C-alpha cells in the first residue's frame, strides 16, 4: 500500500512524537532502575525526535534531561559504592 504525501508526513510526525514520549518515560523510569541502559536510550530517542522536528519538543527535552540525570545518578552511585550495581 502506497501512502500519499500527507499521510506519510502524518505517520512521520506521529513516530517522532512517540519517540519524544518514550524518551520521557524511559528517562523517568531510569531514575529508579536500569539507569545504565535506560539513560542512554532516553538520550538517543530524545535527540532523534528533536532532530526530526517533533511537535512535542518539551517532552523530548525533558526526556533528554532525564536521560542525563540517569547517568548522573549512576555516576554518583558508582562514586559512593565503587560498584555499578546498586539496590534499594
Distance CA 58, CA 72 (A): 21
Residue 52 has pLDDT above 60, yes or no: yes
CB-CB contact of 55 with 9 (8 Å): no
Number of structural domains (the chain) is 1
Flag whether 87 is in a domain: no
Containing structural domain, residue 25: 5-81
Flag whether 86 is in a domain: no
Please provide the average confidence, as pLDDT, over all residues in the chain: 83
Residue 41 has pLDDT above 90, yes or no: yes
- Cα distance from N-terminal residue to C-terminal residue, the chain: 50
Q: What is the pLDDT of residue 77?
A: 84
Flag whether 88 is in a domain: no
Q: What is the pLDDT of residue 24?
A: 94
pLDDT digits (tens, 9 = 90+) for 74-86: 888 888 877 766 5
Amino acid at each position: 500500500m502506497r501512502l500519499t504525501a500527507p499521510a506519510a508526513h502524518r505517520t512521520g510526525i506521529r513516530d517522532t512524537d512517540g519517540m519524544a514520549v518514550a524518551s520521557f518515560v524511559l528517562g523517568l523510569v531510569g531514575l529508579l532502575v536500569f539507569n545504565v541502559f535506560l539513560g542512554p536510550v532516553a538520550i538517543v530517542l530524545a535527540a532523534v525526535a528533536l532532530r526530526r522536528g517533533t511537535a512535542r519538543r518539551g517532552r523530548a527535552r525533558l526526556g533528554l534531561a532525564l536521560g542525563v540525570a540517569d547517568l548522573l545518578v549512576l555516576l554518583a552511585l558508582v562514586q559512593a559504592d565503587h560498584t555499578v550495581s546498586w539496590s534499594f
